[in-house]
Chain A
Amino acid sequence: MASLDMNAEGGPRLVPDDVFKIPKLACDAMADSHPYPAYPEHNMKIGFPGELLENWQEVAIAKIGELAKRNRAFQVYLDACVKCGACTDKCHYFLGSGDPKNMPVARQDLLRSVYRRYYTFAGKYFPWLVGARDLTKEVLDEWYAYYHQCSQCRRCSVFCPYGIDTAEISMAAREIMDSVGIGQKYCNEIIGKVKDIGNNLGLQEKGLRATLEGLEEDIEDDTGVSVRIPLDEKGADILLITPSADFFAEPHIEGLLGYAKVFHQAGVSWTISSYASEAANFGMFIGSYENMRDLALRIRKAAEDLGVKRIVFGECGHAWRVAYSFLNTLAGPFDFLDPNYPVPQHILEFTWDEIQKGTLKFDKSRNDHYRLTYHDSCNVARASRMGDKPGGQFEIPRNVIKAVCNNYFEMDRDTIKESTLCCGGGGGLLTDEVMDIRVKGATPRMTALKQVTQDHGVTHMAAICAICKTQFSKVMPKFGYEMDSIVSVHQLVSNAIILDGQETEEDADPVGEAAAAEVS
């Protein structure tokens, strides 16, 4: 029996115990975690009822049936779970909170129990036998709380013997809630903004142009080289679609500067579009195919209007999932683009190609003030690819980092690549009223990071997702790191790249100064 007890504490593992220390169950610990509900206008703007419908129960139950007909994953995953328990210790929100409803199978069961009640023989006639339950207001509230504690990171789907993906269930649950008039403000308001203006921030064309011009000046001040960040330039070869956080937030901006320098040095013409100035597609978070499609079509339209030949996406995790895995489905076929390049391409694929071609020169020592590790963003790792081989999404970012940095260290192998831990802020949770679950969800990643800080003196963590970057800059201070300990991968590229004609004396190099400051 001792061996079984040991397993209850995590079993024989090759990882530091504290990363995956399984908490004692704390029932309903997170039951009060409620993101702000959407206002009626937010819901109606994206095609849902403004407020909770009179006959919401009926509508919700019918919606379950409709989704099961529309989406095989939903149908099979509701049926196939055997409650083996393999996923129970895999969710970062469970590891961080101990709330058993944050175990993937338990999260799925919040909905599965209702599906069974209305759609299966056993649930209709013997509900107690199979844990089936009526859809009540309490159940709906529970859905709202716990389906907004899932970042749709898919870590559980790696470990499920049937590949059951809780993300599919939580997306469906959110769509069901939306269809009865219960929306989440953060996601629904943002989707509306993209439909109206073109990006999550509601940043208008004029403001965007001014921002980009300011950034061009920054680069020129730093390097002495004039590097353009073009907006709405017809006839450019490449349309860059990047998360709007890249225009204003740190460390995201540094990444944008990196893309601009790479494009400049590669000698390609490129442009940003003010009409499709957002890579993120929150339609996925709420499981709404129609909304996701509407947003994706903006990108197609921008590409057509600007007459570009290629589409390249900036650093963004869930966005890259929608781009890589879904864009062709939602807004394809892209037969009007250059067939010599994949549609779309990731900026890291572009940069890595250029590095291999030898068009980029680097001074790696300019990143010597960093001791780095890399956080695989969940949706890049488990829901997409880069390059032409499986696993390219792990290799290419690391190849680029190693090409521009000297001090690189991996975190524990059970916390990276396909087993990577979510930052804790993905899937529509990057809103401050749910900061408690965000911090708890970040705990396993932070523990793994602390391990490499202890072992290798790691000071900074690089990531390629706008959500990861924002989330970590908020939560890292709670774990004893500076908020700028999270960096963009293209920030590292930007630091190390030597542009043609750039002044290279150490005293004219702001990065060098920063390094000196940090050392002293």
Chain B
Amino acid sequence: MLSTLYALLFYFATAMLVIGLGLRIAKYARTPAPLKIPTTPAPTTRSGVFWRMTREVTVFESLFKSNKWIWLFGWMFHVALLLILLRHFRYFVDLSHAIWFWVPFETPFGIYASYAMVLGLLGLLVRRIVVERIRYISSPSDYLMLLLLLGIALSGMNMKFLSGTDIISVKMFFLGLMRFQINPLPTTPALLVHLALVATLMIIFPISKLLHGPGVFFSPTRNQVDNPREKRHIAPWALELEK
């Protein structure tokens, strides 16, 4: 019963994440940028833009320029989340396959990263509460988002370091879902909380501020080449005005 419920929940969450995000990305990709608006100085070549965007999404360059504390906590959280996500591959894939050779090596980093993730999130949460300017701009959803991520991290750490769970069965459950079979899911409370929160995150991803993830790649101030004099840039709807 519980297994079925969680199976349905994850099918729904995956559909929301994939379809919702896909539609949003398609919308961004289809919407024209009528004018050249890169924040200058900006690269004058496509490869330059690629490098700018790479710096932006790997080391959060603009945020670093802006505020070292937000950068520290934010970057710590994001990198930790990445390491943890990579570690989670071991629960979804057949590790005997050669392309997953790196997973066992990455595993210990994923474990340490959980501390960094919690620290980063706590830092962001404390700032949201104590810094007057940030408190002013925060809505309930902004706090809840941090609490949701903290809940995911802490329930996961609870399983890893304290309560434990039958991880083999968990893996069978998820491998089963990929083959449209519902295998029994262990009923460890920490696991159920962890999975429910993760599914929630997947569901709200395409309809919340988490869209900053795909959004940054479509941001004209960051992804445009600075070459308006050399190359005429014009949106399809603007071309209509010339007829």
Contact = CB atoms under 8 A, between A and B. Distances in A.
A410 B195 CA distance: 56
Contacts of A69: 31
A405 B142 CA distance: 52
Contact of B40 (A73, A120, A161, A383): A383
Name which of B32, B133, B212 has the most chain A CB atoms within 10 A of its CB.
Answer: B133
A158 B64 CA distance: 11
Contacts of B67: 7, 11, 85-86, 89, 159
B41 A162 contact: no
Contacts, number: 233
A426 to B, nearest CB: 16
Given A4-B130, A84-B63, A158-B39, A71 B34 contact: yes
A82 B212 contact: yes
B139 A390 contact: no
Contacts of B137: 83, 85, 88, 100, 103, 105-106, 109
Interface string A8-42: 10011000000000101100000000000000000
A186 interface: no
Contacts of B124: 84
A161 B140 contact: no
B226 A85 contact: no
Interface in A245-304: 289-290, 293
Interface in B106-155: 124, 126-128, 130-134, 136-142, 144
B69 A83 contact: no
Interface string A380-403: 011111001111011000000000
Nearest to B218: A76
Contact of A159 (B66, B69, B132, B215): B66
Interface stretch (A320-328, A361-369, A452-460, A509-517): A320-328
A381 B133 contact: no
Contacts of A168: 37
A72 B24 CA distance: 12
Contacts of A79: 24, 209, 211-212, 215
B32 A70 contact: yes
A289 B40 contact: no
Interface residues of B, number: 68
B238 A289 contact: yes
Given A72-B28, A73-B219, A329-B228, A162 B212 contact: yes
B41 A391 contact: yes
B131 A165 contact: no
B50 to A, nearest CB: 15
Contacts of B234: 329
Contact of A88 (B43, B133, B222, B238): B133
Interface in A148-162: 154, 157-162
A80 interface: yes
Name which of A120, A289, A325, A343 has the most chain B CB atoms within 10 A of its CB.
Answer: A325
Interface in A309-367: 324-329, 332-333, 342-344
Contacts of B141: 122, 129-131
B229 A343 contact: yes
B54 to A, nearest CB: 14
Contacts of A418: 39-41
A232 to B, nearest CB: 26
B15 interface: no
Interface in B5-57: 24, 27-28, 31-37, 39-44, 56
A135 interface: no
Interface string A80-114: 11111111111000000000100101100100000
B133 to A, nearest CB: 4
A329 B238 contact: yes
Nearest to B230: A342
Given A159-B65, A162-B216, A86 B133 contact: no
Contacts of A479: none
Q: Categorize the interface residue count of chain A.
A: 35 or more
A483 B145 CA distance: 51
B65 A71 contact: no
B215 A85 contact: no
A324 to B, nearest CB: 6
Given A105-B137, A162-B212, A157 B39 contact: yes
B208 interface: yes
B207 interface: yes
A87 B219 CA distance: 16
10 contacts: A11-B67, A68-B31, A79-B212, A80-B219, A83-B137, A90-B66, A109-B137, A290-B241, A383-B37, A385-B40
A163 interface: yes
A80 B212 CA distance: 4
B39 A154 contact: yes
Contacts of A85: 67, 70, 127-128, 131, 133-134, 137
Interface string B89-104: 0000000000000000
B31 A72 contact: yes
Nearest to B220: A73
Given A11-B69, A393-B41, A328 B133 contact: no
Contact of A163 (B131, B221, B238, B241): B221
B79 to A, nearest CB: 14
B162 to A, nearest CB: 28
B237 interface: yes
A390 B56 contact: no
Nearest to A127: B139
Nearest to B57: A161
B130 A8 contact: yes
Name which of A71, A161, A342, A343 has the most chain B CB atoms within 10 A of its CB.
Answer: A161
A395 B127 CA distance: 38
Contacts of A71: 31-34
B233 interface: yes
B35 A326 contact: yes
A231 interface: no
Given A72-B31, A130-B140, A159-B65, 5 more contacts: A3-B69, A76-B220, A83-B209, A128-B140, A390-B226
B70 to A, nearest CB: 5
A4 B39 contact: no
Contacts of A383: 37, 39-40
A158 B42 CA distance: 11
4 residue pairs, one from A and one from B, having the closest CB atoms? A80-B215, A163-B221, A159-B66, A131-B139
A70 B36 contact: no
Interface in A33-84: 68-73, 75-77, 79-84
